[in-house]
Structure 1
């Protein structure tokens, strides 16, 4: 499922600790992955909820090697006890209710 928040309401996290999970409210773990061209992309991950928080444009900035690293990390946690998602999810940056939407990716 895809949920999103209006990015005008908040700034991406620059701290080393993750924001609260949109579902369970536990602090998310910040993991760094290779970015296209240079540097790293810092993603907030909640392993118990199997949730990944992407700030604006972060998903598009991941290098192919970074995507593989992310998949490997998720695979390492596949046997973890999972939390069910709550009906109402909150943005970990501004705490506003997240809106549900369908993935509308275009190909071509």
Structure 2
């Protein structure tokens, strides 16, 4: 169960939530979540200490907050421990390149949800034909890594941070949950048509909710940009498999 954390988010400064998750060799690892920024704080090496069961729990928490308004990352991120500036870099794994923000004093690192999923190998990069297929129904969305607008009709990567457009790989996630959480095998999804239809449906649902409750509306500086990113869409699509 989450408990209020005493530490502040490296980006927005709000209090983070601590989630105690299973560690690889017994015990627990306490991970700090900021659902407003869609980010995670790992103390030094904590990202490598997580037991497989913890990954399934983290996926469900990410999905539970997938529709929370996302605060763009600050220009300067600060260590959750010492409040010194974090250093941005990139790591490369088989599933792609992802952004890291590390404390020079080795207190830990800040990671977006999307970077965490790339690190763990649960995403695949979309091909140019797949992006073109999605763009037929969807115009601009938010980058999963930095939150900047991406015009799918003109770009095949984020022009701000150069992160490739990625989507949850249903085969990789299903295999992980079958192995780690003993989830039953289910039919997969993942075609560009599935993704585009899900984006449109999510935007329609958000618009309906805002009409019914004006307090849910917020002003966006990026007119015409849909308030979702592709990895959030992937979480919604995959959740429909385990919730059925």
Matches within 5 A, 1:19-30: 19-30=7-18
| 2:57 partner SS | helix
Matches within 5 A, 1:42-81: 42-81=30-69
Structure 1, unpaired ranges of 5+? 1-15
| 2:7 partner SS | coil
Q: Kindly tell me the number of residue pairs found equivalent between the two proteins.
A: 91
Shift of 1:37: 1.9
Shift of 1:71: 1.1
| 2:20 partner SS | strand
Kindly name which structure, 1 or 2, has the bigger radius of gyration based on alpha carbons: 2
Q: TM-score scaled by structure 1?
A: 0.79
The Cα offsets for residues 43-97 of structure 1, whole Å up to 9 and x where unpaired, read as 0110000010000111111011001111111111001111111110000100000
Higher relative contact order (CA 8 A, sep 6+): 1
> Greater helix share, 1 or 2?
2
- Which of these residues, 4, 10, 17, is aligned with residue 5 of structure 2? 17
Q: Distance in 1 between matches of 2:36 and 2:93?
A: 27
Q: TM-score scaled by structure 2?
A: 0.36
| 8 Å Cα contact 1:18/1:44 also seen in 2 | no
1:83 counterpart = 2:71? yes
Q: Distance in 2 between matches of 1:31 and 1:41?
A: 8
Shift of 1:18: 3.9
Counterpart for residue 93 of structure 1:
81
